[in-house]
Chains A and B, each alone.
Chain A
Amino acid sequence: MVKRDTAVYSRQAKFVRGLLFVFMLVVALLTLYPIIYVFFGSFKENKELLVGGVNIFPETFVIQNYIDAWEQADFATYTKNSLFLGITIMLFSLILSSMAGYVFARKKFRGKELIYGLFVAFMFINVGSVSLRPLFELAIGLHMNTSLWSVVLISAGGGQATSIFLVRGYMNTIPKELDEAAKIDGCTFFQTFYMILLPVLKPILATVALLSFRGGWNEYILPLVFTMTTPEQRPLTVGVNMLKNAGDGAAAWNIMFAGATIAIVPMLLIYICSSRYFIEGLTAGAVKG
């Protein structure tokens, strides 16, 4: 591939490619700088870290931050809970948004605009965390107030609108002839979805999967409330924030930085691994047209 490129492209094109590479590199460095700051900051003494300044490298590497973070927080359990939240919320989002997006894009029925409008409207109406109170009360009524499944349902329900829009938007770029051909071949409404469109939707579903997984992974206030009395259910976000150890004095930011660095590793590994499939999904879905 690379060889053919060099053969085909002119010297000018090569120069442009080089320029683009430099641009990408600059953006990458700017993006990375704060993260490198976090990484090296996690080895600093608390005082040195909080003073800030230009020196991103610690005076001495304090490994103790990591030992403290590891001992104070149960990372194995937290990671397991974060994975549970990420995976289940991802599965819910995939199922909900692919089906709803398909219906919204391909089915005409009375009240469709109304329901769609409701989804749009509730993207804007933001009563924020006040909604926690009624939802928590509801969960108490259903004896689900200590269950992570409540977090899964609320998080998936709150985030589904974005995914539905994405799937619907993507579906609109797919020619309708595809469905019609399927219909002629005798596929039912659901079969058309399941056998014809779902494979074509792979790229957008890959996106929904990635973003909803991350959404579940990043959830903070919800699990904070729902794991109030059950520390063994806490995900990484809640566990790491507790490392600040705020009491009557200064907070242990250095230990929290160490915890945050540990917490980023599983998610990054998942991203790097899935990104290969993600890219495959992106190319596999391309409609011949």
Chain B
Amino acid sequence: MSAQSKTAVSPTRKRSLKQKIARVRAEGGFAAALMLAPSVFLLLVTSVYPFLWVFRYVAYDYNGMTSYYVGAHNFTRMLQDATFWESVLHTFEYAALKVVFIIPLALIMAVLMSRKIMGSGIFRGIYFMPTIISAAVSSMVFTFIFAAYNGVLNAVLRAAGLISQNINWLGDENVAMWSVIIVAIWGGFGNYMIYFMSGMSSISNDVYESARIDGANGMQIFWKITLPMLSPMLKIILMLAITGAFKDYESIMVLTQGGPNNRTQVMFLYIYQLIFGTNVKNPQIGYGTVLSLMAAVIVGAVTGIYLLLARKLDDVM
């Protein structure tokens, strides 16, 4: 291949424009460009353009109506902002815990769903339900469940004899993060289950059949066939789960507002509060933009490392 193409390169240069066009067309270059164009166009309009628009304000104190030049102050402020760096740590903690629980659970449920166990259709519907209910309503219900005074969770644990004193699920610095993660798992595992189910569908039934004929049991099939054959999709799903967990903030906002004492404050919640002025009196859009750039760098680095590791793993396997 390489020897052939080398000899083919030099004549190309001498080809006329017409011939070049003909060649690109033969290889589907124009078709590819046309097929990619709508996505790129929407990316430019709906993501890049607003970003550049906001980016103008990195050196300003901007409250949404008027802006004041502050030079590099937003940047030096970030370096000294303890709340922000704590929120970065909390984001890592939150993302790690969420992914560690949600991915295995979603994978197990997807495997179980693919077997024809009684009622799996109904179960699928149930697991999907948390993702379609109004977030305002479900968060309200979780404050009832977690309530320290008359909450369901405390009542159940007391009845079971597991605790003797009510736990302040959302107000105790030692447990608040777990409460937030429980809600995140509840609201998200149905989503990842669907990702896994579609990933598993590319594995042919014949493979399973022949494995079964060879006498493999369920566990062996899972470790030897499902998981390896799922790995390209698994990589994508993991990446979506990691980036998704890093960007989560809505449910935390409703449940704890980042409290108690900033214990559940995560990067994007902090940024949201700055940009909308919910914790400070006036919106601080300029500073929020600087932080969101930093956050992008952090999440980008995490993803980069993850992709690198994933590639290394491929080489090993």
Contact = CB atoms under 8 A, between A and B. Distances in A.
Interface of A: 1, 5, 16-17, 20-21, 23-24, 27-28, 30-35, 37-38, 41, 51-54, 95-97, 99-100, 102-104, 107, 109, 115, 118-131, 133-135, 138, 153-154, 156-158, 160-162, 164-166, 168-170, 172-174, 188-190, 193, 203-204, 206-207, 210-211, 214, 217-218, 237, 240-241, 244, 253, 256-257, 260, 263-264, 267-268, 271-272, 275-276, 279, 281-283, 285-289
Interface in B215-240: 218, 229, 232-233, 235-237, 239-240
A132 B291 CA distance: 18
Contacts of B198: 166, 170, 203-204, 206-207, 282
B292 A190 contact: no
- Majority secondary structure, B binding face: helix
A203 B207 CA distance: 18
Nearest to B151: A52
Interface residues of B, number: 102
Interface stretch (B2-10, B80-88, B116-124): B116-124
Contacts of A102: 35
Contacts of A53: 144, 147, 150-152
A285 B201 contact: yes
A272 B122 CA distance: 8
Contacts of B132: 214, 217-218, 264, 267-268, 271
A127 B35 contact: no
Interface of B: 27-29, 31-32, 35-36, 38-40, 42-43, 45-51, 53-54, 64, 105, 109, 112, 115-134, 136-138, 140-145, 147, 150-152, 155, 186, 190-191, 194-195, 197-207, 218, 229, 232-233, 235-237, 239-240, 243, 246-247, 268, 271-272, 275-276, 285, 288-289, 292-293, 295-296, 299-300, 303
Contacts of B27: 189
A27 B109 contact: yes
A40 to B, nearest CB: 10
